[in-house]
Structure 1
Amino acid sequence: MSDRFNYDQFLNTLGAWFLGILWFLPIIYAVWTATHPGEYATRFDLLAPLTLGNFVDAWNAAPFARYFLNTIMLVTFILIGQFVLCTLAAYSFTRFSFPGKDILFALVLLQLLVMPDILIVENYSTMRALGLIDTIAAIGLPYIASGFGIFLLRQTFKTVPKELEEAARVEGAGPIGILWKVYVPLAKPTYLAYGLVSVSHHWNNFLWPLIVTNSVETRPVTVGLSIFGSVDQGIDWSIITAATLMTSGPLLIAFLLFQRQFVQSFMRAGIK
């Protein structure tokens, strides 16, 4: 039995290493291409000179400072809105009884089955009617509520002992006070995990921002990055790769820093 266990553990470890290497190889290639002159982008030469000039050229080739500012404003706007709305909705579904509760929650879950791209025409018509085309608000408003966020927080809130809620009520706390003092602090790992998912998704979102924005003042970094692919001749893959690393680097660093909390949160919520 012990030998069998060791054999299975060896296969699991070997498979994890194999998948990890497959995942990491494109990153290695991207770093190599971005830190070497363009002529070495398609061939591997250990004697090739290192350079950081590709990052400088990429940064100067487009208004990346503005793109990054727009992206940070966008993901912050969406995340704050989602935290507020998803928290209130999840708390209501967890601790209150009202007519149609199960039907409403089923509709929330139904949102998870609807691809956002299906709603592009309707969302664009709505944003145009509101006069918000070519604004950061137009990018973020269709995503300000999240069925996944409501479900995830509801699963977490259901694990909070009712005794804590009763103790807070005895001390004079109302529904909002109980939510703020009891439920929210205990759900911090879930907020962190969901925040990473939300920021990652909206940081990388491309199609909707491309459709609803027209100017540099409102474009996020993903749309700004597409400027490098709009050149028909003389494409420098080293500069393109450097720009891609600058775009995706913050998300990769954030995940590496919070990966443990990210995994633990989803395990506590019962999501495999």
Structure 2
Amino acid sequence: MGWRGTRWLEITGAWLLGILWVLPLLYAAWTAFHPAAYATRFDPFAPLTLHNLELAWNAAPFARYLVNTVLLVTLVLVAQFVLCTPAAFAFARLNFPGRDTLFAIVLLQLMIMPDVLLVGNYRTLAQLGLVDSILAIALPYLGSAFGIFLLRQTFRTVPQELDDAARLEGCSLLGRLWRVYVPLAKPTYIAYGLVSVSYHWNNFLWPLVITNSVGTRPLTVGLSVFASTDQGIDWSIITAATLMTSAPLLVAFLLFQRQFVQSFMRAGIR
């Protein structure tokens, strides 16, 4: 198979994957904006309605769940940026005994599924009296080996000449990090931010275990009430709620998809 055949095969595969990915989204949009009678049949003349979105919003304290989710992902993201940035800089530019060994130990976290630590994390937070709180959901994720790895790879691509020039200008270590490295790593911060926000926006098991009340539940746990009604499953309301939940992530990815792709390409350079 020549170059052109391989290229067409790649394009065809990309289109097939794209269609498989977008079909559920199209079904959710169709069902959410049409009456329940059209949830299982297609009619191009079906009337549009916002009634399902209104029902989904009022069927549960959706606004409270949304606020909790925004607080959660913001807390986790800010903490990860603050903690991962100096760690990645140290692994990328500083020479100290045991650096590579310590970095390998940090990367071991990538091999451990969070669900394996579920019981241990719950017992620890229960002893601290933090159960059923936003902080309890966020605390096990404030440090990220993936974030350290991604930023380290990006910092290593920064020319050493820029670091030396900033040092000659009298810039301190933290000053060089803030003025040289962080600005050049903005695409990586955006890409990692999308990954982190997407994961914690959609995380279900740990918030389900650690929260007990409406006041602390995120959207994923709150959505489970839509599937537990006495009248059976109302797909129109479920898809409307799902659409409202996933819309912010879709918009964010569409806005920053270029930075998302570029940052992961740069991470593989060195």
TM-score, normalised to structure 2, is 0.96
Change (3 A) 1:113 1:232: farther
User: What do the CA deviations read for 1:100-125 (whole angstroms, capped 9, x no partner)?
Assistant: 21221111110000000000111111
Q: Give the superposition deviation at 1:16.
A: 1.8
Alignment-derived partner of residue 25 in structure 1: 23
Alignment-derived partner of residue 196 in structure 2: 198
For 1:18 and 1:205, how far apart are their aligned partners in 2? 27
User: What do the CA deviations read for 1:240-261 (whole angstroms, capped 9, x no partner)?
Assistant: 1100001111101111111111
Q: Is the counterpart of residue 157 in structure 1 residue 155 in structure 2?
A: yes
For 1:149 and 1:196, how far apart are their aligned partners in 2? 12
For 2:23 and 2:118, how far apart are their aligned partners in 1? 35
Pairwise mapping of residues 227-238 of structure 1 onto structure 2 (< 5 A)? 227-238=225-236
Q: 1:254 aligns with which of 252, 255, 269?
A: 252
For 2:178 and 2:264, how far apart are their aligned partners in 1? 22
Q: Give the superposition deviation at 1:221.
A: 0.7
Alignment-derived partner of residue 102 in structure 1: 100
For 1:16 and 1:265, how far apart are their aligned partners in 2? 21
Pairwise mapping of residues 96-175 of structure 1 onto structure 2 (< 5 A)? 96-175=94-173
Q: Give the superposition deviation at 1:40.
A: 1.4
Alignment-derived partner of residue 212 in structure 2: 214
For 1:105 and 1:134, how far apart are their aligned partners in 2? 33
Q: Give the superposition deviation at 1:152.
A: 0.5
For 1:11 and 1:92, how far apart are their aligned partners in 2? 43
Alignment-derived partner of residue 35 in structure 1: 33
For 2:17 and 2:144, how far apart are their aligned partners in 1? 31
User: What do the CA deviations read for 1:210-255 (whole angstroms, capped 9, x no partner)?
Assistant: 1111111111111111111122433211011100001111101111
Alignment-derived partner of residue 268 in structure 1: 266
The 10-residue stretch of structure 1 (99-108 or 8-17) with the greater mean CA deviation from structure 2: 8-17
Q: Give the superposition deviation at 1:170.
A: 1.2
User: What do the CA deviations read for 1:44-90 (whole angstroms, capped 9, x no partner)?
Assistant: 22222211110011001111111111111100000000001110110
Pairwise mapping of residues 54-65 of structure 1 onto structure 2 (< 5 A)? 54-65=52-63
List 4+ stretches of structure 1 deviating above 4 A. Answer: none
For 2:151 and 2:12, how far apart are their aligned partners in 1? 35
For 1:104 and 1:212, how far apart are their aligned partners in 2? 31
Identity of aligned residues (%): 71
RMSD, matched Cα: 1.4
Letter of the 2:229 partner, please give it: V
**Alignment gaps of 5+ in structure 1:** none
For 1:95 and 1:133, how far apart are their aligned partners in 2? 39
> What SS does structure 2 have at the residue aligned with 1:131?
coil
Letter of the 1:226 partner, please give it: S
Letter of the 2:15 partner, please give it: W
The 10-residue stretch of structure 1 (148-157 or 92-101) with the greater mean CA deviation from structure 2: 92-101
The 10-residue stretch of structure 1 (194-203 or 129-138) with the greater mean CA deviation from structure 2: 129-138
Alignment-derived partner of residue 92 in structure 1: 90
Q: Give the superposition deviation at 1:97.
A: 1.9
Letter of the 2:207 partner, please give it: P
The 10-residue stretch of structure 1 (239-248 or 17-26) with the greater mean CA deviation from structure 2: 17-26
For 1:18 and 1:213, how far apart are their aligned partners in 2? 39
